[in-house]
Structures are given as C-alpha cells and as structure tokens.
Amino acid sequence: MIRVVIFLVFVGVVALGAGWLADRPGGVEIVWLNYRITTSVAVLVASVALIVAAFMVLWSAFAALVRSPGKVSHYFALREITQGQRAITRGLIAIGAGDARGAAKFSGEAKRLAHDNPLTLLLTAQSAQLSGDRAAAEKVFEQMMARPDLKAIGLHGMFVEARRHNDAVAARALAEEAVAAAPSLGWAGQAVLEFRCASGDWSGAIEALDRNKANGLIDKPAHRRLRAVLLTAQAQNVEPHDRDAAKALALEAAKLAPALVPAAAMAGRFHADANDTRKAARVLETAWKANPHPDIAEAYFNLKPGDSVRDKLVRAQKLAKSQPSHPEAILALARVAIDAQAFDAARAALEPLIAAPTQRVALLMAELEEAEHNDVGRARAWTSRAVHAAHDPAWTADGYVSDTWMPVSPATGRLDAFEWKVPIAELPGSMIADDTADTIIDAALEPPMRAPEVVVMPKEPSASVVASMLVQKRRETNKASPETPPAASRRRPAVSPAPVEAVIPLVHAPDDPGPDAADEVGPLAGPQPEGWLKRFT
C-alpha cells in the first residue's frame, strides 16, 4: 500500500513538472563546432532524461557482464554446499536407522561436497563406529580434538572408544582433559567422579562433586547426599591411622545426611567415645527413625561401654518404641533380651514375626529355645525352618549383595548405590531363567576359583546344620531328576529352596578380590551377606 502511494505521488510530481514546462515555453540554442541546435526547453529535458536512462542501462549490462564469472562460481558453490548438507542429513538419518552402508555412502559424498563442514567429521566418525572400524573413528576424533570448535566432541568420542577398549587409564585422562576444557560437560564431570571413586581418591571425588554442583550438573539435595557418602567413605579410610580426622568427616557426613546409616553409626560411636552420650543418642535416634538398621541399634546399645546387659535392654526397649512394628526393632529388642536372659520379653517381641519367619527370626527362635529350655530338638527344628525361610534385608546394589556398606557399587561403579533391602532375587514372585539358576547353584556347590576365607560363625551347630542340609538337599534333587527339560522351557521362582543363598554366608571372599573377580567366580563373588547368621547370634 505504501509503495502504491509513493508511485502515485511520483507520477503526480512528474505531471505537475510537465504541465509547468508546457505553460512556460522557451527556446534553447546550442552551438558546438560548426553545428547549431535550436529546440525548446521541454524537448531538451526529455532528451537529457533519455540519455541518462540509456547510460544507466548500458552501465548495468556492463556491470552484469563483469560480475557474471563470480556469480556463476557462487552458484555452483552454493549448489555444492546444498548437496553436501543434504548428504550430511541423509547420512545422519542412515546412522539413526542403523544403515551402515547408507551411512558410508553419504559420508563419502559429504567429504567430497562439504569437507569443511564440522558435521562432516561427525558423520564420518559415527559411520566408522557403526561399521565397526574403530581405528578410522579414532583418527577422525583426533582430527576433531585438533580443532577448538570440535575439541569437546573429539574428547567424548575418544573417551567412548577408550571405554570400549577397557582402557581405564586413557578414559580417565580424556575425561580429566574434557573437564579442564569445559567444566559444564555432564558426561565428563560424572566420569571423573566415578574414576576417582573407583580408585579410592575420596578427596578428589569430593572436589569433582563440588565442581559438578558449581556447574549446575546436580541439584543441592543430591549434592548433600553424595557428599555425605564420600565423606563417610573417606572417614572409614582414615579412621585406622587418624581418628580425629575420621571423626570430623563422620560428623559432617551425619549432618549432611542424617539418614545415612554408616555415617550416623560412625558419628554416634565417635560421640560415645568422647563421653558425649546425649549427642550420640540424638544422632542415632534420628537415623533410626528414618532408616532402622542393625548397625544403628548396635551403636545405640553400646553408648556406654561399661553398661550391663540389663541397661542395654532398657535402651533397646526405648529404641523399639519409636518403630514398634518394624522388623529391625523387633529383632534388635529380641537379641538384647536373649543376652539379658529376659526370655519372656524376647518371646513376646518375636511373636508378631513367628507366623512368617525370616532366617534371622528362625535362628533367634532356635537360640531362644536352647537358652531358655535347653531344648535341642526345638532348636534344630527352628534351624531347619531357616533353610526355607525368607531372607532378611542386606546391603544390595545392582544385584550385588554385601555384608557391609560400600560407597560405590562393585558391579556398575555407581555412587551411593547400596540399599538395605531384601535382594530382588529373593522377593516372592521373582523369576529367573532355570539355566541361570543352575549356573548360580553350581557355582555355589563347586569349589570357587579363588581361595575363599572361611568365616567361623558363632553357634557352630546351627550354622553347620543349615549349610549341610542345603547342600544335601540340592544333591538329592540332582540325583532324583537325572533328566530335565531344556532350560529355555522351564521357569521357577528364584527363591525355591534357595540353597545358594544359605551356602553363601559361610564363605567370605577376600576384601579386595580384584577387578576380574566377578568374571572368575560369577556374579555372587566378593563379600557376601553372612550378617543374617551372625549379626544377632
């Protein structure tokens, strides 16, 4: 609309000018050399306008002719760029679809048409990875690392390749370099944290965790929890040679995460050693309300080392009141009551759990029958019930079961992975493939490849009866069913009759089985949960 108005105004101005000249005629005489030109003013103006227009047309044609080679080359370059971008797009789509041949084809086109495009290097590297040519992929990633704008991608690619080659040293070096170059890279920050945890460098891990928090990679609650875990691990590490430093670390960890069991237990113990029973009781009671655990109970019962078993029973009754229906509270109270020879109190405490006893409940009942009535028969009957009883909670992380808390999962390297719960394979209704179950059971019945450390269990008759019954039952089952259907056609509950889990507590692997221990003795290698046999017996 504005252009139309401007055009009409221009036409009006020209018309007014022409009219003004028509109303005022005049003559113009031009003498040049031997020529005389006489004309009117209007003709002169029109002639000048035509000459100017002709000159402009000629100049435009000349300029177009001069610029035509550049325009032609620009056209072909633009077409090449467009084709290169199309090849990159199609190549990335082929990679997403898993089409290795298509990715290689479009990668070649992209290198020919758009070799300066950063996405061409990325397409080339991913195409090489998809086709399994890791050497070519590493070569491209090295080229990326040499370019400032692609250094982060190159480091990530080389890091992935190092992990695939199980080269932990190179992977850690690449992650450290990536963090130094770009601290906000999430994968690098997490990798550095995991590597430092795996090497036991707890101070370095805390530094990496704080850096991740400063760069917005984790939120504040997660940072507090993970920092408490790392402080607890560091406290456990330095406690044998520097109790003051361990105490400071444990107290800070308990302050950051009051519900963290190992931190609360250590903090309570350190307060008790300093005769500050009030602070110790407060720390332990807070942790107990959030997460009842035998370690918390044990530390609470031993607030005063010189107390009698009757004094411990009073504290156990007080602690149990905060969680009256929790199994851990019942078991802790029953344990102390048996030690104090308050058999009626122990029997009353265990009464709610007798209908569906776990292994610890059955073993405590066996001990109670033997201690109160010297009834060996009933004690053995309860011990035999422990064979088929449900398992108690244990420290579990990613399918790995440990008798002690650890800051990092040995299976995956995940920080703060251990939870106090019943192992998943022991839950009612859990199913595993029959061939997997046979493999696990055979691994438990056969001698391990690594020399195990045999743990001498308290109450030797009960523990030996449990182990011998389980092994004998499995062998009798093998003899009774020589022909079995194919493993793929059978499914059974993971808990049936569970010989493996009862045998495991009698064998304790070395504290440091090494990085290949899981491959040598199977997924159940390493420290195993004997706590259900010995913690309260």
**Confidence check: pLDDT of 528 > 60:** no
Q: Which domain holds residue 430?
A: 394-534
Task: Tell me whether residue 62 is in a domain.
Answer: no
- One-character DSSP codes across 212-241: HHHTTSS-HHHHHHHHHHHHHHHHHHHTTT
pLDDT in tens, 317-356: 998 998 888 999 999 999 999 999 999 999 999 999 999 9
Q: What is the pLDDT of residue 309?
A: 87
Distance between CA 227 and CA 243 in Å, rounded? 20
Three-state DSSP class for residue 451: coil
- One-character DSSP codes across 168-183: HHHHHHHHHHHHHH-T
- When pLDDT is cut at 50, 70 and 90, the band that residue 490 belongs to is very low
Query: Closest by alpha carbon to 263, among 244, 278, 283?
Result: 283
Share of the chain above pLDDT 70, in %: 79
The answer for residues whose C-beta is within 8 angstroms of residue 45's C-beta and 6 or more apart is 21
- When pLDDT is cut at 50, 70 and 90, the band that residue 117 belongs to is confident
Q: Give 401's strand partners.
A: 396
Query: Closest by alpha carbon to 124, among 107, 141, 136?
Result: 107
Q: What is the pLDDT of residue 425?
A: 56
Burial class (CB in 10 A: 0-12, 13-18, 19+), 414: middle
Please list, residue by residue across 57-91, b when 16 or more beta carbons sit within 10 angstroms of its beta carbon and e when fewer do: eeeeeeeeeeeeeeeeeeeeeeeeeeebbebbebb
Task: Tell me whether residue 413 is in a domain.
Answer: yes
- The answer to whether 100 and 129 are in contact (CB under 8 A) is no
Distance between CA 517 and CA 519 in Å, rounded? 5
Task: Tell me whether residue 418 is in a domain.
Answer: yes
- When pLDDT is cut at 50, 70 and 90, the band that residue 84 belongs to is confident
Q: What is the pLDDT of residue 503?
A: 28
Task: Tell me whether residue 469 is in a domain.
Answer: yes
Share of the chain above pLDDT 90, in %: 46
| Average pLDDT of span 192-210 | 94
- The answer to whether 486 and 470 are in contact (CB under 8 A) is no
The answer for residues whose C-beta is within 8 angstroms of residue 210's C-beta and 6 or more apart is 223, 227
Task: Tell me whether residue 437 is in a domain.
Answer: yes
Give phi and psi for 31, each to the nearest 5: -115, 120
As a whole number, the mean pLDDT across the chain is 79
How many other CB atoms sit within 10 Å of the CB of residue 417?
19
pLDDT in tens, 442-466: 433 333 333 333 333 333 344 444 4
Query: Angle at which helices 359-373 and 343-354 pack, to 10 degrees?
Result: 150
Three-state DSSP class for residue 488: helix
Task: Tell me whether residue 331 is in a domain.
Answer: no
**Cα angle: 475, vertex 477, 480; to 5 degrees:** 110
In the block, which residue shows the tokens 């990496």? 208
Task: Tell me whether residue 190 is in a domain.
Answer: no
| Average pLDDT of span 500-506 | 30
Q: What is the pLDDT of residue 78?
A: 85
Provide the 8-state DSSP code for 357: -
- The answer to whether 513 and 450 are in contact (CB under 8 A) is yes
How many other CB atoms sit within 10 Å of the CB of residue 247?
20
- The answer to whether 145 and 125 are in contact (CB under 8 A) is no
- The answer to whether 258 and 283 are in contact (CB under 8 A) is yes
Q: 285-291: long-range contacts (C-beta < 8 A, 24 or more apart)?
A: 285/319, 285/322, 286/258, 286/259, 287/254, 287/258, 287/259, 287/260, 287/261, 288/319, 288/322, 288/323, 289/322, 289/323, 290/258, 290/259, 291/259, 291/261, 291/420
Picking from 199-203, 239-243, 486-490, which range would have the lowest pLDDT averaged per residue? Answer: 486-490
The answer for residues whose C-beta is within 8 angstroms of residue 502's C-beta and 6 or more apart is 359, 386, 387, 466, 467, 470
Distance between CA 252 and CA 224 in Å, rounded? 10
* pTM score of the predicted model: 0.66
Task: Tell me whether residue 402 is in a domain.
Answer: yes
| Average pLDDT of span 168-173 | 93
Identity of the amino acid at 182: A
**Confidence check: pLDDT of 215 > 90:** yes
Three-state DSSP class for residue 94: helix
Give phi and psi for 247, each to the nearest 5: -60, -45
As for how many domains the chain has, the answer is 1
